[in-house]
């Protein structure tokens, strides 16, 4: 197979079935080289993956309430955007985001 | 669809706020053009006083910079006055000859200062105090001249005088009234204020009638002459004798005006395509001169412009606060006295404190305070809410001391705190930071301050302090939200009461149904409204509504309390605080097996296992469940504990079996979700070892039966429960307590504790429905039992249902 170096590093990996993530909910992926990653499912069945660590004081974002394309951190209610991990104003900060996609009902993560 | 054209005349605070509200709800409906006579983008006019006093600069007080207009595709035409409206042709004409067509026109032309019609009023050196240009001129004059005279001792005049004095001028305030700020203060308060301003170096002449302004050799004003012949030197005269709505343009276009442009409850003028907001508008006979009402008008106007058809403006109650550093006065409502009113006064000139509240029909209608204004926001809230104060009348003047209870070293007077003092103990925010943020970010509401500084956003015990700081930083511009009708959150304009009613009337059975039916402005709400909606659905339609796990806060979803490091605590239920060797053994085993770092006895008479990892939760529940234990719901907006004393079972003083009644009550209420947490206690005699006096429902055994107390709270602010009734038998206690809690479940707003619920509706209302009406009590009690029947322990449910457990299991790639 023809693959360049960068493609090898950013390979798509199968995670789980879409149904295994509750709508407007999340699952945590452990044991990745990047620490714990939270994978969210929105009401229109998009999935997003961000580091499971709030830029404020490290709260577990996977445990927050998901609305629109944001999640509210359960510890002090910062709102983090799922698409890019940026925190909504007036707070500032950013958590790392990872590419995620759904194909035929299966969720893939690019690590 | 072609965009409609909206033209706004007057680039001031009310108009721009209307545009902001409009852009929030209908960002693409209009093509917007703004004409402003001043050369500046919208700035915070009320902060001209700190600019004059040298505490801030013009840059600091800009609210919307040029970029904001550009970002929102608004055409901004500055330094250009609209001089004519062609209503037939739907066009406006500007001073430079340019013109624009409109579909909707918004007039927000503000006010003109009232200039006394005396000889010399047009001399150089005679100015009003309204805008940046006036402020600059005053700053300039202060650098070159000595004597200033301010005509008018209202809010504006005193702030101008204070600023000029700080800039080194010798300032005299002349006033026609018998005392200063006579429209906002009564004489005793005004006298105290005058004394403290005199200490700051201001001089006062009153009552005094200005007759003439006299020019000096240079042609500039040099003196003020009064009717009584007296004359004083003046190199600068500031007219602050009142404002008049600026209706020139509207009148020239034949729009009906009467001391302001007349508008209806949707802020439309007699020409329905033309709206008016702000100081230029007259609504039901009142043209307001403070920003808080203007902001309410802006919201309604935007709503109507967006063709939403909800929202109408009913007028505002205003309050006043002078923004002079180090001086504390507050007034609100009508305190002129008069028929049917009563005064309660506290006057302590030695301590520099004066308070007066005016009551009418057991309701607060006015308040004036000097020296100690910490309860201003509280009075104002009761005044707006029309709350019956007869029950708290005897301590009304001593305040509600909801300030400074805990967390900020007993500090409760914001004005006496240094900038470095910590206001919010939870988030470590000090006073200076809050003041600076309010000024620089242009904040006006408590919500804004919470968002931007985090102060008062956690436990809320410093709310009163933050309100005071807000009030003294932006003066009467601060308007506490109407507690009964404030919107649930930013996703909607509807209040908790409206939402509850709609869910009941239309049988809405899920969060999403409610969001759709009530036209939420966000697709799935937010972390504030979703838990509320979920609670309203399931409490209104038990067994029918869908309980949406994703709309519950994590503690209720994970059936455990999240801790600051992301681990959880597990609290098994111990009915009535009783346990057995078998249960204790199971707890000890589980604590060892799952390496629980901390085991603690809680304030609710049970044992807390702290530091459990999320993935271990279902396992530890399973182990505890094997020993017969169930969830303690120590995490939920739900029944927490029923605390008991040992009672007549063992205690030599005991009159009633408190332990067994406690166990019965706790079993009855197992699985009860409520607007907020609910705690009960049962004591076996009036020695009250179970502390029943600070519980949502507290039962105290007496020889002849039981006393029931309700709406107590031992939290941030301790509220002693109120005596509700006496009961003879255990069954009566269960029925009355159950009915009371069901009423609270049906009428309470989400996150409202019983004490706040009872404060809002009044204990009489609760008594009527629970005590006086036996049939209704029975019905309430039955509805409670129906809602709770077949409730399944969440721990057991998770142990049995793998799909529920899944949420606790991590994935791997
Ligand atoms: C020094 C000072 C201190 C104050 N302090 C407080 C306070 O502590 N608390 C409080 O609540 N309120 C305070 N106020 C009052 C508050 O600022 C006003 O209520 C508020 O600004 C009114 O808003 P508005 O939009 O109606 O009018 P403005 O903000 O006055 O805006 C009207 C704008 O329209 C422009 N305009 C008028 N006619 C035309 C035209 N034909 N074409 C184009 N443009 C036109 C004007 O130049 C002006 O810029 C203070 C006011 C002043 C001057
Ligand atoms: C997220 C924040 C909070 C957490 C995690 C929390 C957790 C707890 C826990 C686990 C208990 C023991 C309860 C039990 O045994 O069932 C408890 C008790 C208590 N909490 Fe909180 N609490 C929180 C917020 C508050 C607030 C805001 C108040 C005040 C309004 C408060 C007042 C109390 C009181 C008075 C008790 C003692 C109850 C008693 O003695 O019966 N708590 N809290
Ligand atoms: S347990 Fe309660 S009182 Fe103690 S720190 Fe937490 S919230 Fe504050
Ligand atoms: S409240 Fe009365 S009955 Fe209960 S333990 Fe105390 S003294 Fe005994
Ligand atoms: S840790 Fe997320 S908001 Fe504080």
Q: What is the pLDDT of residue B484?
A: 63
Closest ligand 5 atom to A73 CA: 2
Domain span including residue A40 = 2-110
pLDDT in tens, A11-62: 888 999 999 999 999 999 988 888 899 999 999 999 999 999 999 888 899 9
Summarised one tens digit per residue, pLDDT across range B209-241 is 999 999 999 999 999 999 999 999 999 999 999
* Range from B391-405, B485-499, B739-753 carrying the lowest mean pLDDT: B391-405
pLDDT computed for residue A61 by the predictor: 93
Q: pLDDT at residue B592 above 60?
A: yes
Write down the pLDDT at residue A6. Answer: 47
Q: How much is the pLDDT for B476?
A: 62
**Tens of pLDDT, residues B169-224:** 999 999 999 999 888 888 888 998 999 899 989 999 989 999 999 999 999 999 99
Q: Could you tell me which of B278, B275, B210 has the C-alpha nearest to residue B239?
A: B210
Is beta strand B722-727 parallel, antiparallel or unpaired with respect to B705-710? antiparallel
Contacts with B, A 64-103, CB within 8 Å: 64-68, 72, 74-77, 79, 90
> In terms of Cα–Cα distance, which of B630, B662, B634, B639 is closest to B649?
B662
Spatial CB neighbours of B68, under 8 Å, sequence gap ≥ 6: B41
Model pLDDT for residues B417-450, shown as the tens digit of each residue: 777 777 776 667 888 888 888 888 878 888 788 8
Residues found in chain A: 111
Quote the CA–CA distance of B475 and B444 in Å, as a whole number: 10
In short, whether B685's Cβ falls inside 6 Å of ligand 4 is yes
Ligand 3 centroid–CA B483 distance in Å is 26
Asked if B522's CB is within 8 angstroms of A22's CB, the reply is no
pLDDT of residue B165: 94
For residues B515 and B491, what is the distance between their CA atoms, to the nearest angstrom?
Answer: 9
Q: Is the pTM of this model over 0.80?
A: no
Question: Domain spanning B639-788 has what CATH number?
Answer: 3.30.413.10
Query: What element of type H or E holds B614?
Result: none
Between B272-276, B280-284, B409-413, B725-729, the lowest mean confidence (pLDDT) is in B409-413
The reply to whether residue A32 touches residue B525, judged by beta carbons under 8 angstroms, is: no
User: With an 8 Å Cβ cutoff, are B527 and A30 in contact?
Assistant: no
For β-strands B697-702 and B678-683, DSSP reports them as parallel
Using a 6 Å cutoff on CB, does residue A54 contact ligand 5? yes
Percent of chain A with pLDDT over 90: 61
Q: Is B459 on the interface with A (CB under 8 A)?
A: no
- Interatomic CA distance for residues A48 and A109, integer angstroms: 9
- B266 within 8 A of B104, measured Cβ to Cβ: no
Q: What dihedral angle (degrees, nearest 10) is formed by the CA atoms of B17, B18, B21, B23?
A: -110
Per-residue pLDDT for B639 more than 60?
yes
- pLDDT the model gives residue B772: 94
The reported pLDDT for the residue numbered B400 is: 61
CATH of the domain at A41: 2.102.10.10
Report whether pLDDT(B637) > 80. Answer: yes
Q: Do B554 and A63 touch (CB under 8 A)?
A: yes
- Is the distance from CB of B478 to CB of B471 less than 8 angstroms? yes
Is residue B462 very low, low, confident or very high in pLDDT (cuts 50, 70, 90)?
Answer: confident
Question: B555-626 architecture in CATH?
Answer: Alpha-Beta Complex (3.90)
According to the model, what pLDDT value does residue A9 have? 55
- Band of the pLDDT at B408, cuts 50, 70, 90? very low
Q: Is B804 exposed, middle or buried (0-12, 13-18, 19+ CB in 10 A)?
A: middle
Confidence of residue B773 (pLDDT cuts 50, 70, 90): very high
Residue A83: pLDDT band by 50, 70, 90 thresholds? very high
CB < 8 Å to B441, chain A: 90
Q: Which ligand is nearest to the CA of B701?
A: 4
Residue B393: how many other CB atoms lie within 10 Å = 15
Q: For residue B413, what pLDDT is reported?
A: 62
Closest CA to A47 of A105, A103, A102: A102
- Most confident region among B321-330, B433-442, B751-760 by mean pLDDT: B751-760
B649-675 pLDDT tens trace? 899 998 999 999 999 999 999 999 999
What number of CA atoms fall less than 13 Å from residue B653's CA on the CB side? 12
**Mean local confidence (pLDDT), B360-387:** 82
- pLDDT for B457 equals 65
Which residues in chain B are closer than 8 Å to A65, comparing Cβ atoms? 526-527, 530-531, 550-551, 553-554
Give B406's pLDDT tier (boundaries 50, 70, 90): very low
- Lowest-pLDDT range of B324-333, B500-509, B761-770: B324-333
Query: Which pLDDT score, from 0 to 100, does residue B609 have?
Result: 94
pLDDT band at B149 (very low <50, low <70, confident <90, very high): very high
Ligand nearest to the CA of B563: 2
Q: What pLDDT sits at residue B342?
A: 87
Which tops the pLDDT comparison, B665 or B618? B665
d(CA B658, ligand 4 centre) in Å: 9
More confident residue, B591 or B409: B591
The pLDDT value recorded for residue B412 is 52
Does the pLDDT value for residue B66 go beyond 90? yes
Residue of minimum CA distance from atom 6 in ligand 1: B46
Which atom of ligand 2 is found nearest the CA of B681? 41
Residue B763 CA, ligand 4 centroid: distance in Å: 28
Is-contact B639 B788, C-beta < 8 A?
no
Residue B404 pLDDT: 35
Is the separation of the CB atoms in B740 and B533 below 8 Å? no
Question: Torsion over CA of B765, B768, B771 and B776, rounded to 10 degrees?
Answer: -110
Closest approach of chain A CAs to the CA of B455, in angstroms? 12
* Cβ of residue B810 closer than 8 Å to a chain A Cβ: yes
Question: Quick one: average pLDDT of B118-132?
Answer: 95
Q: Which residues of A touch B549 (CB under 8 A)?
A: 22, 25
Mean pLDDT of B460-480: 72
Q: What's the DSSP call for residue B772?
A: I
Is the CB of residue A20 less than 8 Å away from at least one CB of chain B? yes
What integer is the mean pLDDT of B604-608?
A: 94
Domains held by chain A: number: 1
Contact A22 B525 (CB under 8 A): no
Residue B558 contacts A, CB cutoff 8 Å: yes
Domain boundaries, chain B: 4-110+245-305, 126-241, 319-398, 414-477, 496-552, 555-626, 639-788
Residue B319 predicted with pLDDT over 60: yes
Ligand 4 in reach of B475 Cβ (< 6 A): no
Domain B126-241: assigned CATH number = 3.50.50.60
Mean pLDDT for B628-632 is 91
Mean per-residue pLDDT, B443-472? 76
The reply to whether CATH 3.90.850.10 applies to domain B4-110+245-305 is no
Average pLDDT, chain B: 88
B803 Cβ under 8 Å from any chain A Cβ: no
By C-alpha distance, the chain A residue nearest B808 is: A27
Q: What is the pLDDT of residue B646?
A: 94
Contact B462, B407 (CB under 8 A): yes
Whether A69 has a pLDDT exceeding 60, the answer reads yes
Model pLDDT for residues B533-578, shown as the tens digit of each residue: 999 999 999 999 999 989 998 888 878 877 777 788 899 999 999 9
B551 touching A, CB under 8 A? yes
Q: Are the beta carbons of B523 and A76 separated by less than 8 Å?
A: no
Q: Give the gap in angstroms from C-alpha A4 to the nearest C-alpha of chain B.
A: 22
Give the domain B319-398 fold.
Enolase-like; domain 1 (3.30.390)
Residue B786 confidence (pLDDT): 95
The string of pLDDT tens digits covering residues B666-718 is 999 999 999 999 999 999 999 999 999 999 999 999 999 999 999 998 877 78
Q: What is the mean pLDDT of residues B237-254?
A: 95
**Ligand 4 touching residue B693 (CB < 6 A):** no
- Output the pLDDT for position B477: 64
Chosen CATH of B414-477 out of 3.40.50.2030, 3.40.50.9100, 3.50.50.60, 1.10.10.1100? 1.10.10.1100
Interface confidence (ipTM) of the complex: 0.86
Q: How confident is the model at residue B395 (pLDDT cuts 50, 70, 90)?
A: confident
Cβ-defined contact of A67 to B554 (cutoff 8 Å): no
What percent of chain A has pLDDT above 70?
Answer: 91
pLDDT at B29: 94
| Ligand 5 contacts CB of residue A75 (under 6 A) | yes
Contacts of B525 in chain A (CB under 8 A): 67
Could you tell which of A73, A88, A95 is best to mutate to test the pocket of ligand 5, judged by most ligand atoms within 8 Å of the CB?
A73
Which residue of B684, B688, B690 sits with most ligand 4 atoms within 8 Å of its CB, as the best mutation to test the pocket?
Answer: B684
Report chain A residues whose CB lies below 8 A from the CB of B803: none
Of B454, B526, B806, the CB nearest to A72: B526
- Residues whose CB falls within 8 Å of the CB of residue B414, separated by 6 or more in sequence, listed in order: B374, B423, B431, B465, B468, B469, B472
């Amino acid at each position: 197979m023809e693959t360049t170096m960068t493609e090898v590093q950013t390979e798509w990996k199968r995670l789980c079935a879409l149904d295994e993530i509750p709508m407007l909910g999340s699952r945590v992926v452990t044991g990745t080289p990047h620490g714990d990653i939270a994978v969210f499912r929105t009401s229109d069945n998009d999935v997003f993956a961000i580091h499971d660590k709030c830029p404020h004081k490290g709260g577990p974002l996977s445990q927050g309430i998901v609305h629109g394309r944001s999640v509210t951190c359960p510890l002090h209610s910062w709102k983090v955007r799922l698409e890019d991990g940026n925190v909504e104003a007036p707070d500032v900060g950013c958590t790392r985001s990872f590419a995620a996609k759904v194909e035929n009902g299966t969720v893939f993560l690019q690590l | 669809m072609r965009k409609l054209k909206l033209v706004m005349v007057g680039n001031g605070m009310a108009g721009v706020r209307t545009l902001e509200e409009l852009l929030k709800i209908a960002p693409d409906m209009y093509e917007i053009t703004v004409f402003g006579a001043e050369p500046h983008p919208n700035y915070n006019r009320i902060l001209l006083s700190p600019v004059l006093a040298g505490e801030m600069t013009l840059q600091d007080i800009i609210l919307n910079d040029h970029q904001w207009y550009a970002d929102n595709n608004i055409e901004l035409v500055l330094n250009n006055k609209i001089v004519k409206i062609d209503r037939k042709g739907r066009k406006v004409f500007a001073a430079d000859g340019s013109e624009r067509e409109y579909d909707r026109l918004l007039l927000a032309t503000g006010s003109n200062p009232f200039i006394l019609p005396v000889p010399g009023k047009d001399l150089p050196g005679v100015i009003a105090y309204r805008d940046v240009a006036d402020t600059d001129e005053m700053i300039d004059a202060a650098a070159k001249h000595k004597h200033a005279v301010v005509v008018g001792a209202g809010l504006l005049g005193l702030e101008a005088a204070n600023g000029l004095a700080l800039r080194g001028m010798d300032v005299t305030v002349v006033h026609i009234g018998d005392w200063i700020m006579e429209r906002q203060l009564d004489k005793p308060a005004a006298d105290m204020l005058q004394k403290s301003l005199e200490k700051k170096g201001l001089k006062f002449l009153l009552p005094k009638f200005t007759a003439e302004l006299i020019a000096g050799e240079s042609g500039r004003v040099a003196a003020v002459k009064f009717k009584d012949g007296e004359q004083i030197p003046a190199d600068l005269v500031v007219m602050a004798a009142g404002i008049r709505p600026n209706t020139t343009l509207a009148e020239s276009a034949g729009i009906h005006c009467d001391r302001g442009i007349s508008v209806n409850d949707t802020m439309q003028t007699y020409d329905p395509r033309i709206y008016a907001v702000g100081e230029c508008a007259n609504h039901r006979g009142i043209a307001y001169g403070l920003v808080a009402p203007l902001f309410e008008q802006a919201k309604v106007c935007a709503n109507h412009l967006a063709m939403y058809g909800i929202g109408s403006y009913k007028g505002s109650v205003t309050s006043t606060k002078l923004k002079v550093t180090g001086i504390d006065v507050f007034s609100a409502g009508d305190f002129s006295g008069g028929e049917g009113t009563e005064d309660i006064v506290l006057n302590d000139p030695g301590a520099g404190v004066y308070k007066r509240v005016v009551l009418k029909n057991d309701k607060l209608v006015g308040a004036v305070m000097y020296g100690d204004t910490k309860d201003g926001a509280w009075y104002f809230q009761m005044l707006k809410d029309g709350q019956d104060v007869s029950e708290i009348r005897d301590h009304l003047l001593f305040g509600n001391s909801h300030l400074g209870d805990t967390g900020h070293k007993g500090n409760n007077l914001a004005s006496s705190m240094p900038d470095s003092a910590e206001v919010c103990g939870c988030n470590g925010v000090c006073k200076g930071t809050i003041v600076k943020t309010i000024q620089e970010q242009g904040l006006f509401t408590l919500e804004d301050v919470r968002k931007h500084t985090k102060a008062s956003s956690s436990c809320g015990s410093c709310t009163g302090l933050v309100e005071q700081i807000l009030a003294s930083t932006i003066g009467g511009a601060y308007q506490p939200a109407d507690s009964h009708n404030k919107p649930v959150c930013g996703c909607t304009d509807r209040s908790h009461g409206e939402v509850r009613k709609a869910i009941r009337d239309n049988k809405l059975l899920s969060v999403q149904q409610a969001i759709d039916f009530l036209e939420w402005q966000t697709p799935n709400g937010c972390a504030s409204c979703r838990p509320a909606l979920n609670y309203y659905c399931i409490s209104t339609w038990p067994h029918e509504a869908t309980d949406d796990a994703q709309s519950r806060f994590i503690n209720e979803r994970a059936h455990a309390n999240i801790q600051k490091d992301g681990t959880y605590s597990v609290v098994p239920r111990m009915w009535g605080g009783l346990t057995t060797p078998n249960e204790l053994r199971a707890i000890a085993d589980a604590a060892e097996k799952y390496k629980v770092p901390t085991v603690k006895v809680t304030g609710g008479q049970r044992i807390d296992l702290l530091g459990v990892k999320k993935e271990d939760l279902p396992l530890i529940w399973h182990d505890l469940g094997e020993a017969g234990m169930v969830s303690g719901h120590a995490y939920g907006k739900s029944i927490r504990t029923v605390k008991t004393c040992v009672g007549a079972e063992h205690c030599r003083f005991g009159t009633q079996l408190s332990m067994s009644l406690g166990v019965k009550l706790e079993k009855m209420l197992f699985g009860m979700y409520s607007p907020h947490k609910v705690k009960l206690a049962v004591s076996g005699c009036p020695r009250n070892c179970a502390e029943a006096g600070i519980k949502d429902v507290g039962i105290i055994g007496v020889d002849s039966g039981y006393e029931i107390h309700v709406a107590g709270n031992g939290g941030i602010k301790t509220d002693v429960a109120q005596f509700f009734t006496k009961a003879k038998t255990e069954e009566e206690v269960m029925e009355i307590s159950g009915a009371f809690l069901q009423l609270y479940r049906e009428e309470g707003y989400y996150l409202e504790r019983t004490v706040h619920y009872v404060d809002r509706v009044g204990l009489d209302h609760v008594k009527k429905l629970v005590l006086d009406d036996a049939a209704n009590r029975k019905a309430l009690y039955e509805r409670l039992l129906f809602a709770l029947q077949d409730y399944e322990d969440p721990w057991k449910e998770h142990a049995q249902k793998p799909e529920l457990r899944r949420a606790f299991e991590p994935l791997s790639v």
